[in-house]
Amino acid sequence: MVSPKDSAALLQQVRDTARDVGLDWMEASVTGDLILAGRKETLERFKTRTSPQVPSGAMAAALQACAGRTVQVVLIPNADHRRVLAEMLPAIIGRPAISPVQGLKWAALGLDGPPSLCLDLVVETDGPDSAKALLEVIQGLCAWAAQTPEVRSLVQDLDPVLADLTPKVQGSRLVLTLDQTRADALIRRLVGPALMQAREKARRLTCASHLKQVGLGVILYANDHKDQLPPDLQPLIAAGSVPEVCLACPRLGPRGPMCTEELV
């Protein structure tokens, strides 16, 4: 939600950002105190269902729930969305979830980006009983994730992650708030292991490439010296067939100790 005096500048910023990231299909326009961005047909459908000056009650309540955050995402499911979601969940948690999902009115996500990363998630239901029932569904999903080896292999500290992502019941709402400290800890748990695995894979690929280069250098040397292997790697470096960086362990970096010992 924006004030009229800021809407023009922010609208242009949204359009420029969409163009810069290659979202040429995205259109943006001002409707009341909202800036709407999306596909043309989606915006037209929203405008036909909403007063041009006053958002629908659900939309206004959802935006108010995450007011003040830099990024706001609102989901207002229709009957078809609820039915599809309800039919998917029993296969995951092993019990019917039609009633709790049918009580879902809207969900709002508010996010502040770095350097102060914060997150607010608010889910509105049609009453306290529906909120508690929906929480049970979420807890069932968490239990399913905790017992799934594939999920545990992706997240090392899965139990505290699931605990941090479980909302609390507040009347007819489910509320999850992550301040900067909790958000940073969550990101470390989620991204840390994956980042370490990616780095290790990159090191192994680099090591394999280095060994291949050394092997090719040895073959070239043997071809030029009547099938004799070089006494060590120094002749290969001097000939330029093996760069010195190929002799350093990727774990130690290019300034690590060089391996120039005898081959046999």
The CA distances from residue 55 to 35, 63, 185, in Å, are 11, 10, 36
Report mean pLDDT in 10-residue bins for the chain, 264 residues: 64 82 82 76 72 63 86 85 77 61 89 79 92 89 87 82 91 91 78 68 85 89 87 86 80 52 46
What pLDDT does 234 receive?
86
Question: Which residue in 64, 66, 58 sits closest to 105, CA to CA?
Answer: 58
pLDDT number for residue 86? 78
Cβ within 8 Å of residue 34, ≥6 positions away: 1, 2, 55, 63
Helix axes 79-93, 128-146, angle to 10 degrees: 40
* Phi and psi at residue 113, to the nearest 5°: -85, 180
- What per-residue confidence (pLDDT) applies to 150? 85
* Prediction pTM value: 0.55
- The pLDDT value given to residue 120: 92
